[in-house]
Amino acid sequence: MSNIILQPVDRNFPGAGSMGRDNLFYGLVEFIHILRHLGVRVSVAEARDAIDALSRVDLLARGQVKTALRAMLVKNHYDRKVFDLAFDAFFTAPEIRRERLEQRKERKGN
């Protein structure tokens, strides 16, 4: 698990500037691409199921989104660990990400 490295994601994909369904779709496609890159096997059917699952939860409730996606995309214990790390990295607001980076820098400086 310690060899997993998550790097910042370029969010300049088609539809990133739009709101609504397209943005959700492209964001989920990007997230699934990251999961696949990290070794989580996600089929087209599972990706489609994940999109459907998101239509049934409150998209502003981060916990509901995480639970719905995990239920559709995770198959085993290893996948769950990778999913949780990837989800937390991908679905964290830039402001929070910057704040955490600053906190890490402060701890290293002390």
pLDDT in tens, 73-92: 999 999 999 999 999 888 87
* Residue 41 structure tokens: 């096997």
Tell me the pLDDT band of 107, cut-offs 50, 70 and 90.
Answer: confident
* Residue 39 structure tokens: 């070794």
Report the C-alpha gap between 43 and 36 in whole angstroms.
10
- Residue 50: what residue type? A
Q: Are 50 and 28 in contact (CB under 8 A)?
A: yes
Q: Report which of 67, 95, 99 is spatially closest to residue 83, judged by C-alpha positions.
A: 67
Report the C-alpha gap between 95 and 105 in whole angstroms.
15
* Residue 35 structure tokens: 């999961």
Average pLDDT estimate for 17-40: 81
The residue among 30 and 5 whose pLDDT is bigger is: 30
